[in-house]
Structure 1
Amino acid sequence: MESKERVNKEPFPGAYLVGLVITLGLLIGVVLVGSTLSPAASGFLVALGLGLTVNPKYATWFLAAGVFCALMGFAGSEPQIAWGGVALVISQVVVKLFIKS
């Protein structure tokens, strides 16, 4: 019988741990931004930051969701939703124009 060696699929030793630390740091940053700023500013910044991480293949759908959120947020006097929708629209335009899939 041949021994089956376990192949390490990490790009470098500890890569997944580094990814975990980065992810948790970003999550804590989003929570801090969301809790310390006004609702409109936090909605805008969080949606802008997260919108820039969208795969360009799905940017059109996120753009439509941003327009819907902006319209419904302003219609319902919900500043966090409204400005988050505006930021999502802006981020998806940036993704469509400058990021190649």
Structure 2
Amino acid sequence: MSSKEIKPNKEPFAGAYFVGLAITLAILIGVVAVGAGMPPAVSGFVVAFGLGLTVSPKYARWFLIAGIFSALMGFLGSEEQVAWGGIGLVLSQLIVWRFIKS
């Protein structure tokens, strides 16, 4: 064999990462568009909950801590959207941690 060995392609199929990127961006735009038409507390919850479900279980603990911090700071500062977004993030991370463990 030559000094340049051919490495196997890590993608499941050609362009798989681009398809994944397009799906992720579509979900992000959809969640933000739906959240834009709601009251602040509801939209904060929906957007954080929806996007929180896409987090890798490997990082769920850190996002859970961030959600708790956001909820505490939001309620202490009377920022409804941040507070309920933190609650949504906490709940989504508990779901990810419990049911989507890898």
TM-score by length of 2: 0.79
Relative to structure 1, is the Cα distance of residues 98 and 79 closer, same or farther in structure 2, using a 3 angstrom cutoff?
same
Runs of 4+ residues deviating >4 angstroms:
4-9
Stretches of structure 2 lacking an aligned partner (at least 5 in a row): none
Deviates more, 1:36-45 or 1:56-65: 56-65
* Cα distance in 2 between the residues matched to 1:26 and 1:57: 21
The alignment's C-alpha RMSD in Å is 2.3
Count the aligned residue pairs.
101
Percent identical residues: 67
* Cα distance in 2 between the residues matched to 1:8 and 1:96: 30
Amino acid at match of 2:56: N
* Cα distance in 2 between the residues matched to 1:17 and 1:60: 28
The corresponding residue for 1:58 is 59
Deviates more, 1:16-25 or 1:82-91: 16-25
The corresponding residue for 1:15 is 16
Structure 1 residue 85 displacement after superposition? 0.4
